[in-house]
A and B are shown apart, each in its own frame.
Chain A
Amino acid sequence: MTFFSVNGLECRHGLLAAVRGVSLAMNEGEILALVGANGAGKTTLMRGIAGAHKPHAGNIVFDGKDVTGLPAHKRVALGIALVPEGRRLFTGMTVEENLRVAGAHGRKGKWNLEAVLEAFPQLKPKLKAKAGDLSGGQQQATAIGRALMTNPRLLLLDEVSLGLSPLAVDQVYESLHGLMSGGTTIILVEQDLSRALAVAHRIACMLEGAIVLEGAAASLSRDAITDAYFGLHRAGAKA
């Protein structure tokens, strides 16, 4: 049973097509890693799925419901949450306020302030600090926590390791571990191929707005992915 699918999605920035005819299907609980060079259209695809970027063509079906025409806030209510690239916290508000305001508007469920703090214990001493004053790792933890407060069933993580120290990245992924083994469906954009291969069930590689290679993480060799990444093998092996 397909939990979530994207069919022939096309997103444009003005006249430029950033995402061209992307199709994806995922089962509940699956983790998909989206890889590809800068400008391949990963972020636009994620924003398109979240409802932050209006698609030009194609559709998005989530849990049997066509959500293509829904604005972002209505998709959140259904259970789609995006941790945007660059984190985009409410910088003038405290960590607690960032989390609470998301909790107040999202779905109800097991994620609440206590649960988020348990997953990201590094935030506990920072609850009353302004989000803008945190370190990069703490900001990223807040951004993920903020998304979790809406109790997503599909979590979109866009470049959560961008600009973080290796140690902070480890910490973020460690915190995500429980989440990943807990049955939440996740799409993550990750530049670090080893990490993507380690956490994801499936890998999809984007090039110039299209998916050129897709398959189970275990079945793809690093070389095949690297070739697809740089467009050396235009005809990707469709899984």
Chain B
Amino acid sequence: MNFLNQVLQGAMLGGFYALVACGLSFLFGVMRIINLAHGSLAILGAFLLLGMLNATNWPNTMGDYGYLAPFVCLAIVLPVMAAIGWALQFLVLDRSLRAGPLIPVLSTFGVAVILDNGMFETYGANSNSLGPFIGDLSFGSWNLTDTIYIGQLDALIFGTAVVVLGGLQLMLTYTKLGRTIRATADAPDVVGLIGVNQKLVFSAAAAIAVMLTGLAGVFDGMRTSFAPYDGGTLLIFAFETVVIGGIGSLWGTLVGGVVLGVAQNIGAEINPAGFQIAGHLTFLVILIFRTFGFKIPLPRLPFRKAAA
């Protein structure tokens, strides 16, 4: 039964991975850039929220509702992250995109190095957590049986992932902005001919992507501890999630996250180091299957087909 519980916990962890992968996947879908600063941006989001909690002192002044303070602050941190995404597109990505296929990889890695070390310089090496600020939510759970339980925070994160993915899907299908983003992703050099400012669309996409990344980072901070150099691990997990789920597929992202989370938790059952190894191995096996022609059918977003 314990094993079953581990699988369930892995699946719940998958919701978190899906959320982490969202921004990476979305930006790649629209701009064909793999943002190597993705994980670092998530950690930045967590630090910004922590900084705001400390600065406002709301967790203490809000009395009984103090545990809601992080969520109130989120309403401010998310727009800030969106602005950072906008600036990232404006200052780095736009120029990189025009300079050929290698440059975005180099420049976003440069951004990651600056962010990681900048956060280290600002916040120090200590591990931080947002867990203490959300009261019972961080450890509360519903017990299904004696050994099987669902954590409340895990459920909240999983639910958020579903809402975010569903919301993105609806936005892309039914809104003017969504259709414009899809048209731009489909043929970035053509949209100008129908009156679309391509740069503006890319900026909006980067803003959305980084905002979602910040949200994922905040949840990371609530789930566990975080430190300035943790971005790399988040980037890897996000990337694995996207690849396992199928590049360009939003719902695939959820499947990818669950597969990764379950694999990691099963690995951890076998050996303490198995968490990482099992996750990476699962990713590799699926990558090999994909690469050598075995297709796993998943519903795809109407994005341009992934580069062959």
Determine direct contact between A and B, CB below 8 Å. Answer: yes
Shortest beta-carbon distance from A91 to chain B in Å: 6
A195 within 8 A of B: no
| A28-B193 Cα distance, complex, nearest whole Å | 21
Shortest beta-carbon distance from B191 to chain A in Å: 8
- Assess whether A102 is in contact with B194, with CB atoms less than 8 Å apart: yes
A93 within 8 A of B: yes
- Assess whether B197 is in contact with A73, with CB atoms less than 8 Å apart: yes
- Assess whether A104 is in contact with B176, with CB atoms less than 8 Å apart: yes
| A72-B196 Cα distance, complex, nearest whole Å | 8
- Assess whether B303 is in contact with A105, with CB atoms less than 8 Å apart: no
Pick from B37-45, B180-188, B209-217 the stretch touching chain A. B180-188
B192 within 8 A of A: yes
Contacting residues, chain A, for B191 (C-beta < 8 A): 73
B155-188 at interface with A (beta carbon < 8 Å)? 176, 179-180, 182-183, 186-187
A84-108 at interface with B (beta carbon < 8 Å)? 84, 88-93, 97-98, 100-102, 104-107
Out of B182, B193, B303, B304, which one reaches A72, CB within 8 Å?
B193
Contacting residues, chain B, for A81 (C-beta < 8 A): 193-194
- Assess whether A92 is in contact with B182, with CB atoms less than 8 Å apart: yes
- Mask, B136-154, CB within 8 Å of A = 1, is 0000000000000000000
B293 within 8 A of A: no
Chain A minimum-CB-distance residue to B175:
A104
Shortest beta-carbon distance from B198 to chain A in Å: 8
| A77-B193 Cα distance, complex, nearest whole Å | 10
Shortest beta-carbon distance from B47 to chain A in Å: 38
Contacting residues, chain A, for B176 (C-beta < 8 A): 101, 104
Q: A97-B179, A100-B179 are in contact. Are A106 and B186 (CB under 8 A)?
A: no
B195 within 8 A of A: yes
A186 within 8 A of B: no
Out of A71, A82, A89, which one reaches B197, CB within 8 Å?
A71
- The interface size of chain B toward A, counting residues with CB under 8 Å, comes to 21
Chain B minimum-CB-distance residue to A146:
B194
A41 within 8 A of B: no
Chain B minimum-CB-distance residue to A98:
B183
A51 within 8 A of B: yes
A interface, size bucket:
20 to 34
Contacting residues, chain B, for A147 (C-beta < 8 A): 193-194
- Assess whether B195 is in contact with A105, with CB atoms less than 8 Å apart: yes
- Assess whether A90 is in contact with B187, with CB atoms less than 8 Å apart: yes
Contacting residues, chain A, for B196 (C-beta < 8 A): 73, 101, 105
| A77-B194 Cα distance, complex, nearest whole Å | 9
B190 within 8 A of A: yes
Q: A93-B182, A93-B183, A104-B180 are in contact. Are A88 and B302 (CB under 8 A)?
A: no
Contacting residues, chain A, for B182 (C-beta < 8 A): 90, 92-93, 97, 101
Chain B minimum-CB-distance residue to A72:
B192
Out of B180, B193, B305, which one reaches A52, CB within 8 Å?
B193
- Assess whether A92 is in contact with B193, with CB atoms less than 8 Å apart: no
Q: A88-B190, A92-B302, A92-B303 are in contact. Are A106 and B195 (CB under 8 A)?
A: yes
A-B pairs with beta carbons under 8 Å apart, 27 shown: A52-B192, A73-B191, A73-B196, A76-B194, A76-B195, A77-B195, A81-B194, A88-B193, A90-B186, A90-B187, A91-B186, A92-B182, A92-B302, A92-B304, A92-B305, A93-B182, A93-B186, A97-B183, A98-B183, A101-B180, A101-B194, A102-B194, A105-B180, A105-B194, A107-B195, A149-B194, A150-B194
Beyond A73-B198, A76-B192, A91-B186, list 13 extra A-B contacts (CB 8 Å): A51-B192, A72-B192, A77-B195, A82-B193, A90-B186, A91-B187, A92-B186, A93-B302, A100-B179, A104-B176, A105-B194, A105-B196, A106-B195
